[in-house]
Amino acid sequence: MTNMKTAIYPGSFDPVTSGHLNIIRRAASVFDELIVCVMVNAGKNPMFTLAERVDMIRRVTADLPNVTVDCSEELLAEYARKKGSRVIVKGLRAGSDFENEFQMAMINRKINPELDTMFLTAEHQFTYLSSSTVKELAAYGADLTGFLPETIIQDVRDRIKKNRKEEINK
């Protein structure tokens, strides 16, 4: 049986930003259940492992009882079919995001014709925010308040320090 009230919010979430959390909170208020799914992206070299990203998202969404966190290495359209979800939620920051996300929505629908994609536009204070930007700021020791949920700022700082030590010891 397909649950029309379950949506999936996929992404690499490396790390989960305040912008991601804003989309999660807004989508969780629309759907009975929201599955935040950490996806494997072959084109990216993540700072955090899948398990670490899942853990961070669980910590920052602990106050949202209808949010579950999962991970997957399969095609999103197939994952959605297995979970009985017919809705994918994607956040859009700017016009440049739309083109790529629209293409992915069409591909997902081709693979799974019952699957629709719902786009949520980022709130103005998050339109510039990406995980890549946050990692760059963190590498320079910038204050990450407002960019990341408070709960995970130390995780990011610790990972930056660890990576620096590894680079120095090479």
Indicate which residues carry an active-site annotation.
20, 44, 93, 131
For the chain, the C-alpha Rg in angstroms (whole number) is 16
> Structure tokens of 33?
């259940």
Three-state DSSP class for residue 33: strand
Contact 18, 148 (CB under 8 A): yes
Cβ(151)–Cβ(59) under 8 Å? Answer: yes
Question: From the CB of residue 167, how many other CB atoms can be counted at a distance below 10 Å?
Answer: 8
CB count, 10 Å around CB of 84? 12
Comparing CA positions, the residue from 164, 163, 7 lying closest to residue 91 is: 7
